[in-house]
Amino acid sequence: MCRWFVYRGAPLRTSELLLHPVHSIVAQSLNSPLGAEPVNGDGFGFGWYPVDGDGPPGLFHSIEPAWHDRNLRSLAEAVVSPLFFCHVRAAAGPPIQQTNCHPFRNDGWLFMHNGGIADFDRVKRDLVLAVDPDLYPLMLGTTDSEVLFHLALTLGLRDDPVGAIARAIAFVERVGHEHDVRFPFQGSIATTDGDSVWAFRYSSQGRSRSLFHSTDISDLRTMYPDESRLSLFSDDARVIVSEPINDLPGAFLEVPEASVAILDAAGYRHAAFAPAGS
Amino acid sequence: MCRWFVYRGAPLRTSELLLHPVHSIVAQSLNSPLGAEPVNGDGFGFGWYPVDGDGPPGLFHSIEPAWHDRNLRSLAEAVVSPLFFCHVRAAAGPPIQQTNCHPFRNDGWLFMHNGGIADFDRVKRDLVLAVDPDLYPLMLGTTDSEVLFHLALTLGLRDDPVGAIARAIAFVERVGHEHDVRFPFQGSIATTDGDSVWAFRYSSQGRSRSLFHSTDISDLRTMYPDESRLSLFSDDARVIVSEPINDLPGAFLEVPEASVAILDAAGYRHAAFAPAGS
Amino acid sequence: MCRWFVYRGAPLRTSELLLHPVHSIVAQSLNSPLGAEPVNGDGFGFGWYPVDGDGPPGLFHSIEPAWHDRNLRSLAEAVVSPLFFCHVRAAAGPPIQQTNCHPFRNDGWLFMHNGGIADFDRVKRDLVLAVDPDLYPLMLGTTDSEVLFHLALTLGLRDDPVGAIARAIAFVERVGHEHDVRFPFQGSIATTDGDSVWAFRYSSQGRSRSLFHSTDISDLRTMYPDESRLSLFSDDARVIVSEPINDLPGAFLEVPEASVAILDAAGYRHAAFAPAGS
Amino acid sequence: MCRWFVYRGAPLRTSELLLHPVHSIVAQSLNSPLGAEPVNGDGFGFGWYPVDGDGPPGLFHSIEPAWHDRNLRSLAEAVVSPLFFCHVRAAAGPPIQQTNCHPFRNDGWLFMHNGGIADFDRVKRDLVLAVDPDLYPLMLGTTDSEVLFHLALTLGLRDDPVGAIARAIAFVERVGHEHDVRFPFQGSIATTDGDSVWAFRYSSQGRSRSLFHSTDISDLRTMYPDESRLSLFSDDARVIVSEPINDLPGAFLEVPEASVAILDAAGYRHAAFAPAGS
């Protein structure tokens, strides 16, 4: 339904990845070949952590398409960041409003999602009731994704991100099944505390939205010694993205179905993931 | 917190009342002397019933201030209507988004509100839980007013508007008191089924927002025989508004505290109003 | 670059043509198979003449994509009109702002355009200088189309629409050639005084954007006796549109290259068109 | 017509000045006691230079009022900058669009203006004709201020800022007088190359908009030893602003009528200014 992008590595001018690649997330807003819909023009969001690690992540949401947005271009050229998220939306259900734009934020955490909770109108009330009453007033939009984020926060995201997302999706599946929804959850999720990134690929049906991670930069430099743009990136630079942002063979590898990918100081790794424990 | 305007009478070019009066609702968006805040620049809404009575009311919501809005000017000049609502918002709590703009609509009904539910963040969850689950997914914004409308719909607005609003406010007061809110409700409300208009002025504290109704046009013509603009209006033309839209002495009379004003085929009348029956 | 739509006939609820057809102009905003670009998401505009012929045409411009716009849906369902224009934009050059949305208006005239003036940045100044100084301050946006409209107004649009457009395009071609632009003009244009509609299909290269007109309703009823939707339309109902809005074979016929199509009380006709006389 | 704000000093979290002061520029958007109009709700702009001095200034423009804007709040909290501009607009003439929001940018230069060119519709064409044809296509909005900036660029802003502004205003006055405009120019202007800031206060009538500069921080610390917020600022921190952002007596001093104020590595100074040399 949407496309999203994560970068983690040495501080980088964000335009290098958000604007310049041939299939950048901004380009994908107008044309995403691997997306459930080719057009992701229902608003966008950009969240970034500052270089010095001080203060909250910046957040810019807009209800206009990303492809011609002048503010996004200017921001991407002005901002240097070691960790940033970007999301372009294809709304399954309107409305188009800033409070429905990803990434969502809670203190220093960001969260974004591509996919959906099936038959959301039927299950929404039951899901919302399970959100911690203290978190309840913080939900400002109408998306399934924002509810999922607040369910995960309720179920321990800050202390145990993988477990909390497993419990949140298990709860979504249980409520869905109670309402005779066959495949309640679909999607890829990214969340971060500003240091580590957790990216999930899972769907009740076992046919999840596409998800890719970038190859080791040092391997890419060996493969493409003449590719001068590779010198822009630090050795630990990593990207996780709904679909590849360039056409270099081997530059992006698929994150397997039903898995969680982790980016942290130790690099990239992934492991099997399944809903559990709700 | 806001200002609103209601017209009922013979079909009228809406710009005659929305744009041209010296203190029109559009002028009040920038400067409303009697408002709790002088500036009502946090979006606006315009709802109108068509001349032939066929089809749903038109609805236009915008997140921009009304005072310079080109679409509103064009619409107001193009639309002729026998019954229309307009609302300019001063947001007590953001966000500024179309789904937070009044009037709200449910089928052929419109609803708008100036004022607020005190400590809404603390009582919101309890109020929302009382909304009919079938109506629950229709709430798309974050305002207290939209919740109040859906409470009133739940409590019988379509069959008994005065009783349903009385029950809805009584419920708001009860929930508020349970949360130690001293004065849970404040405001003036307008609602219509496209034929009759019900306007309420009430607050828990007994110090409600201002509300006025227009004097009989025939009386005004007698009082102001040289006022050529009065010839624009039919004998049964009536306005209810948060504050007078012109400076003609006697043109507007206050709707009393704790009362409901009714505009219908029989003309204007008002009666005492109090929350009850929840 | 864009897609546009014209209706002329008996007063019709505009949603019947703007929203309901399978390839309506709103659907074309997200996917227009015959367009130079498949996505026309850079704002839109809707202009309509009132039923009673009194007052200026209504005009609604938005910088959001048409496909999910709630105001457009509500307006289209509320407005009944005998003559209306709708345009969805794919911006060759930003910015995306209401003043760049078509149709443009001058008193009772509307004008819209799909296509472009080649190398506009190089020729813009010379074109603007040729606009009547009294009309000059009325140009509020940055599009080639708005300049073309004001050139046509300068060159007599109100008295001789076909001649004025011929002169305006001839002037654009002359200025373009002076700047070594090989094919200065491309596009289809619609303009109206609220009674007759003139639609032009022309390009310097002789390869113009697609343009279609609807078949006689009476012929369509004979061809498709079971098509109940055809009963919505009056015998004189006509549409001119960038591409067909449904898949009924024979329902839409191409307007020939280098021609002007006219809709008026006499029905539909077209004639050869070429720039001339500047 | 507007209010603006300039900071130059050690890198500072921009929210400290844009959001936190009691009369911050964001607060002034809703209520500016010294403004020609108390409400400056017709969009805003924020431009900032990065800490490392590398890359273009960031620029964020919005058509919504500043007072509730969530993007501005987030940006102001995330951005640390040694030199930033902010402007809130009260439009004398619409439209409200991003291309009419200050500050305007040309490469590494920013420019903003409070005030206006009188009878702009009558003189606009003559002024625009004097803009360098290479700069002509860069003007994207409809404001007098953007034209003034491009006149100044045409007349040598990059090499001689004070002289170029003097020539530009002299030209505006000459053209105005040719059109029988009595007092052609009014306003305060700020411009910067990212290092020095030039701020002008001048009007043809000799009754210019208010303009203030901050007192030396070291003097303020002596005056207010208990004011803990003063420790946030470097010794060379300086502000120039349309009106004081706090109520500390002595914290802001008026920039004299008909003068240019300069902020650079040498600190603050001002000198007499008059249009000349056009």
Taking only the tens place, the pLDDT of each residue in B121-136 is 999 999 999 999 999 9
Interface of A with B (CB under 8 A): 95, 97-99, 121, 124-125, 129, 133, 136-137, 140, 142
Judge whether residue C53 has pLDDT over 80: no
- Residues of chain A in contact with residue D62, where contact means CB-CB under 8 angstroms, are 71
Give the residue from chain B lying closest to C80, CA to CA: B50
Burial classification of residue D269, based on how many CB atoms lie within 10 Å of its CB (0-12 exposed, 13-18 middle, 19 or more buried): exposed
Burial classification of residue D265, based on how many CB atoms lie within 10 Å of its CB (0-12 exposed, 13-18 middle, 19 or more buried): exposed
What does the pLDDT read at residue C38? 85
Given an 8 Å threshold on Cβ–Cβ distance, is C124 in contact with D133? Answer: no
For the CA atoms of C58, C62, C66, C71, what is the dihedral angle to 10 degrees? -60
Mean pLDDT of A40-52: 94
Are C228 and C220 within 8 A, CB to CB? no
Judge whether residue A181 has pLDDT over 70: yes
Interface of B with D (CB under 8 A): 30-31, 38-39, 41-42, 63-65, 68, 70, 91, 94-96
* DSSP symbols for A110-155: EEEEEEEETTHHHHHHHHHHTS-TTTGGG--S--HHHHHHHHHHHT
What does the pLDDT read at residue B1? 64
Closest by CA to B119, choosing from B175, B164, B200, B167, is: B175
CA–CA dist C269, C11 (Å, integer): 21
CA torsion through residues C79, C85, C140, B62, sign: positive
Q: How confident is the model at residue A278 (pLDDT cuts 50, 70, 90)?
A: low
Structure tokens at D32: 């500016």
What does the pLDDT read at residue D180? 97
Q: What is the count of residue pairs from B and D with beta carbons less than 8 Å apart?
A: 37
What does the pLDDT read at residue C1? 65
CA–CA dist B145, B186 (Å, integer): 11
Q: How many CB atoms lie within 10 A of CB C131?
A: 20
Are B11 and B80 within 8 A, CB to CB? yes
Judge whether residue D217 has pLDDT over 70: yes
Interface of D with A (CB under 8 A): 13, 48, 50, 52, 55-62, 70-71, 74-75, 77-80, 98
Taking only the tens place, the pLDDT of each residue in C3-32 is 999 999 999 999 999 999 999 999 999 998
For the CA atoms of A141, A144, A148, A154, what is the dihedral angle to 10 degrees? 50
- Residues of chain D in contact with residue A83, where contact means CB-CB under 8 angstroms, are none
Catalytic residues of C: 2
How far from each other are the two terminal CA atoms of chain D, in whole angstroms? 26
Judge whether residue A41 has pLDDT over 60: yes
Q: Among the listed ranges A32-36, A182-186, B206-210, D147-151, which one has the minimum average pLDDT value?
A: A32-36
Judge whether residue B74 has pLDDT over 80: yes
Query: Which residue has 């998401």 as its token pair?
Result: C41
Taking only the tens place, the pLDDT of each residue in A5-37 is 999 999 999 999 999 999 999 999 999 888 777
What does the pLDDT read at residue A36? 73
Q: How far is D21 from chain B (nearest CA, A)?
A: 20
Q: Would you give the DSSP letter of residue B193?
A: S
Give me the domains of chain A, ranges plus CATH numbers: 2-272 (3.60.20.10)
What does the pLDDT read at residue A1? 65
Q: How far is D70 from chain A (nearest CA, A)?
A: 8
Given an 8 Å threshold on Cβ–Cβ distance, is A70 in contact with C30? Answer: no
What does the pLDDT read at residue D1? 64
Specify the pairing of strand A44-49 against strand A58-62.
Answer: antiparallel
What separation in angstroms does the CA of C106 have from each of A138, C133, C268? 47, 15, 25
Mean pLDDT of C180-201: 97
Q: Among the listed ranges B53-57, B141-145, B220-224, which one has the minimum average pLDDT value?
A: B53-57
Taking only the tens place, the pLDDT of each residue in C108-132 is 999 999 999 999 999 999 999 999 9
Are D150 and D170 within 8 A, CB to CB? no
Q: Where are the alpha helices (DSSP H) in D2-137?
A: 15-18, 25-30, 70-78, 120-129
CA–CA dist D178, D172 (Å, integer): 10
Are A191 and A168 within 8 A, CB to CB? no
Q: How confident is the model at residue B53 (pLDDT cuts 50, 70, 90)?
A: confident
What does the pLDDT read at residue C54? 73
Structure tokens at A8: 């983690």
Q: How confident is the model at residue C92 (pLDDT cuts 50, 70, 90)?
A: confident
Quote the mean pLDDT of chain B: 95
Q: How many CA atoms lie within 13 A of A177 on its CB side?
A: 7
What does the pLDDT read at residue D35? 75
Instruction: Output the furthest CA–CA distance in chain A (Å, rounded).
Output: 56
Mean pLDDT of D262-276: 96
Mean pLDDT of C69-77: 96
What does the pLDDT read at residue A35? 75
Are A42 and A89 within 8 A, CB to CB? yes
Q: Among the listed ranges A117-131, B31-45, D87-101, which one has the minimum average pLDDT value?
A: B31-45
Q: How many CB atoms lie within 10 A of CB A250?
A: 10
b/e per residue, A100-131, with b = 16+ CB within 10 A?
bbbbbbbeebbbbbbbbbbbbebbbebbbebb
What does the pLDDT read at residue A140? 95
| Contacts of B among chains (3+ CB pairs under 8 A) | A, C, D
Q: How confident is the model at residue B54 (pLDDT cuts 50, 70, 90)?
A: confident
CA–CA dist D8, D14 (Å, integer): 11
Quote the mean pLDDT of chain C: 95
Mean pLDDT of D70-98: 95
Q: What is the ipTM of this complex?
A: 0.94
Residue predicted with more confidence, D174 or D92: D174
Taking only the tens place, the pLDDT of each residue in B4-41 is 999 999 999 999 999 999 999 999 999 988 877 789 99
D250: left (phi over 0), alpha (psi -120 to 50) or beta: left
Taking only the tens place, the pLDDT of each residue in B159-191 is 999 999 999 999 999 999 999 999 999 999 999
Q: Among the listed ranges B57-61, B185-189, C52-56, which one has the minimum average pLDDT value?
A: C52-56
